[in-house]
Structures are given as structure tokens and as C-alpha cells.
């Protein structure tokens, strides 16, 4: 009399549980990661209590010495003169996707307010959508964590 096992062993491995774990890890890392705009410019932004979640397609930087830099999309910021800045911004806004057609201004907190207003006024006169970028306050950072 021979003893047989009631079921034969299968040589396959189910990957269903492994894909679930990988999917959950992917979601976890996407949610916990922060989106940072890499720039070579050192701009110390002023603090604000409210932040926008929109990602600008065009960025204007004003450094401590009041030099202007501009970039479109993922390009590196290029130095600009104020008269050339207007033509660049108009062209960039025309090329931007709907909903991303606004221009973010990143000004160092030591820049006089008048210099920022000059750039904002130039945009307002030419119907450009501009926002002033700031960094969150420490209380807002604590709330996000």
C-alpha cells in the first residue's frame, strides 16, 4: 500500500501580495515626498501663512542685489534686463498650458518692496497673471507634519 499526498505541490509563486506591497510603498513615497524647484540662485523668501498648491510654469527671481532672472518650465534661470523681461514673460505665458499660465515672482526678503512692485506693475499693465512666492511660516510647517 502506497501513501500518497492528497494534493500535488504547485511550483508557481503568487506575486499578488508583492505587487500590493510595492503599490502601497509607491503611494507612501509619493505622498511624503516634497516637490522642490531646484535653482542655483540663493533667494531667501519672506514668510507667509498661506501657500498655493499650483506649480508655476514661468518664474522670475529677484536676488539681493536686485538682479532679475527668469526661467520657463524646467530651464535654468537666465539673467534678464527689465525691458527684455517683458517680452520673455509675454512669450512664456502664450506657450504655457491652461491653468499654468501664471508667473511666480521669487524675491529675496531683503529686496525693497518698490523693486517687486515694479515687476508686478509691469505684469499688470500687460495683463500677465503674477503671484508673489513666499515660504511657509514655522507654524504652517508644523501643521503639515
Task: List pLDDT tens digits, range 26-72.
Answer: 988 888 876 665 556 666 666 666 666 666 778 888 888 888 898 88
pLDDT of 25 reads 92
> For strand 102-107 and strand 58-62, is the pairing parallel, antiparallel, or unpaired?
parallel
Task: Give the torsion through C-alpha atoms of 119, 94, 132, 87, to 10 deg.
Answer: -20
Tell which phi-psi region holds residue 122, choosing left (phi > 0), alpha (psi between -120 and 50) or beta. Answer: alpha
pTM exceeds 0.75 for this model: no
Question: Domains in the chain and their CATH numbers?
Answer: 47-144 (3.30.420.270)
DSSP 55-106: PPSEEEEE-TT--EEEEETTPPPEEE-HHHHHHHHHHHHHHSPTT--EEEEE
- Which distant-in-sequence residues (6+ apart) come within 8 Å of 107 by Cβ? 43, 45, 46, 61, 62, 115, 116, 132, 133
The rounded distance, in Å, linking the Cα atoms of 95 and 81 is: 21
Q: Is the dihedral of CA 109, 112, 113, 117 positive or negative?
A: negative
SS3 content of the chain, % helix, strand, coil (to 5): 35, 20, 45
- The per-residue pLDDT for range 64-113, each reduced to its tens digit, is 888 889 888 778 888 988 888 888 888 887 777 776 677 888 888 888 88
pLDDT of 2 reads 66
Residue whose entry in the numeric block shows the C-alpha cell 532672472: 69
Amino acid at each position: 500500500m502506497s501513501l500518497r499526498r492528497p494534493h500535488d505541490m504547485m511550483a508557481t509563486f503568487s506575486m499578488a501580495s508583492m505587487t500590493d506591497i510595492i503599490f502601497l510603498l509607491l503611494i507612501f513615497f509619493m505622498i511624503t515626498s516634497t516637490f522642490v524647484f531646484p535653482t542655483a540662485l540663493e533667494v531667501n523668501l519672506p514668510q507667509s501663512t498661506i501657500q498655493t498648491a499650483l506649480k508655476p510654469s514661468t518664474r522670475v527671481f529677484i536676488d539681493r542685489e536686485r538682479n532679475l532672472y527668469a526661467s520657463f518650465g524646467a530651464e535654468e534661470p537666465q539673467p534678464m534686463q527689465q525691458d527684455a523681461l517683458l517680452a520673455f514673460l509675454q512669450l512664456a505665458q502664450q506657450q504655457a498650458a491652461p491653468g499654468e499660465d501664471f508667473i511666480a515672482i521669487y524675491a529675496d526678503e531683503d529686496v525693497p518692496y518698490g523693486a517687486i512692485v515694479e515687476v508686478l506693475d509691469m505684469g499688470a499693465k500687460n495683463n500677465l497673471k503674477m503671484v508673489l512666492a513666499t515660504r511657509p511660516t514655522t507654524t504652517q510647517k508644523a501643521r503639515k507634519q
